[in-house]
């Protein structure tokens, strides 16, 4: 949402243990301060780096922008992540804060954003990365899918003929953890690994690239759509298909397209 009044929250993330180890370790966050503009928040971060000698414990920094004088408390206008030395790592491309009519606007772009450009995709499929979760935990995971590109989104829209809008949560990678769990971390929470990765752990993570559960994100979305139908009183319009009945990605997409039309959905979440 376009806003003339916002505040920037500077957060330092540090390790809980002096010697963190993969595949997962805990971190804690400390709010350094609130600032009237991004430049002042960055200046304070740099001052903090010069004055506080705790680099050996520092995971990185986050700067979150919040709109003032509004009813939306938790959504952010922008988010940026920084490496331990203060180098900008990544930034979100979409505002989380809706306008009065609830469309989600783009961040850093004057025109509507439908995908992450290639020059803003820092990691690629097969890369092993650190994923920051809830500012409290870091998990070593492998990327199995990069964020949708503008070309992919445009092709999807033309194929499905369904009106949809990308949200900030769709600007994400798809990853698999050491336990095999699939997740969708937003780009701003994905960091390069900083500690040695054992051959055993690397081999385990790389094994998920050839996993046959490639349709998991699409299939998982079916349950959410069924719940939407139940709330709208349209559960009778849901086909009898179950997740186990899909034999290909094409069948899943056909099912979702048909379901969106039956429910007259205003958008389709892309995951």
Q: What tens digit of pLDDT does each residue of 113-143 get?
A: 578 888 889 999 999 999 999 889 999 999 9
Phi, psi of 213 (to 5 degrees): -95, 50
Question: Is 144 found in the same domain as 25?
Answer: yes
Asked whether residue 242 is assigned to any structural domain, the reply reads yes
Q: Is the pLDDT assigned to residue 61 strictly greater than 80?
A: yes
Question: Is 58 found in the same domain as 23?
Answer: yes
Given this model, what pLDDT does residue 211 score? Answer: 61
Given this model, what pLDDT does residue 104 score? Answer: 46
User: pTM above the 0.75 mark?
Assistant: no
The number of folded domains in the chain is 2
Question: Is 136 found in the same domain as 220?
Answer: no
Question: Is 63 found in the same domain as 147?
Answer: yes
Question: Is 228 found in the same domain as 202?
Answer: no
User: Among the listed ranges 31-45, 131-145, 214-228, which one has the minimum average pLDDT value?
Assistant: 214-228
Question: Is 240 found in the same domain as 138?
Answer: no
Q: Is the pLDDT assigned to residue 199 strictly greater than 60?
A: yes
Q: Which domain holds residue 82?
A: 6-210
Given this model, what pLDDT does residue 160 score? Answer: 63
Question: Is 186 found in the same domain as 75?
Answer: yes
Kindly state the percentage of the chain with pLDDT values over 90. Answer: 38
pLDDT, average across residues 238-252? 51
Given this model, what pLDDT does residue 156 score? Answer: 73
């Amino acid at each position: 949402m376009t806003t003339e009044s916002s505040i920037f929250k500077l957060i330092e993330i540090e390790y809980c243990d002096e010697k963190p180890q993969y595949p997962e370790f805990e971190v804690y966050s400390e709010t350094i301060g609130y600032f009237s503009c991004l430049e002042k928040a960055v200046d304070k971060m740099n001052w903090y780096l010069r004055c506080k000698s705790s680099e050996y414990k520092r995971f990185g920094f986050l700067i979150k922008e919040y709109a003032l004088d509004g009813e939306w408390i938790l959504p952010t206008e922008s988010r940026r992540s920084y490496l331990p030395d203060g180098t900008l790592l990544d930034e979100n491309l979409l505002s989380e804060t809706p306008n009065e009519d609830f469309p989600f606007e783009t961040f850093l772009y004057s025109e509507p954003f439908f995908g992450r450009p290639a020059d803003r995709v820092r990691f690629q499929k097969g890369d092993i990365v650190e994923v920051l979760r809830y500012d409290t935990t870091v998990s070593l995971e492998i990327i199995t899918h990069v964020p949708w590109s503008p070309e992919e989104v445009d092709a999807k829209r033309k194929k499905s003929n369904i009106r949809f809008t990308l949200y900030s949560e769709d600007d994400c990678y798809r990853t698999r953890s050491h336990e095999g769990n699939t997740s969708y971390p937003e780009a701003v929470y994905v960091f390069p690994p900083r500690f040695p990765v054992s051959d055993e752990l690397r081999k385990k993570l790389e094994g998920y690239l050839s996993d046959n559960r490639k349709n998991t994100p699409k299939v998982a979305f079916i349950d959410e759509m069924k719940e939407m139908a139940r709330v709208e009183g349209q559960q009778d319009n849901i086909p009898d298909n179950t997740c186990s009945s899909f034999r290909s990605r094409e069948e899943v997409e056909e099912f979702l397209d048909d379901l969106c039309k039956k429910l007259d959905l205003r958008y389709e979440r892309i995951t």
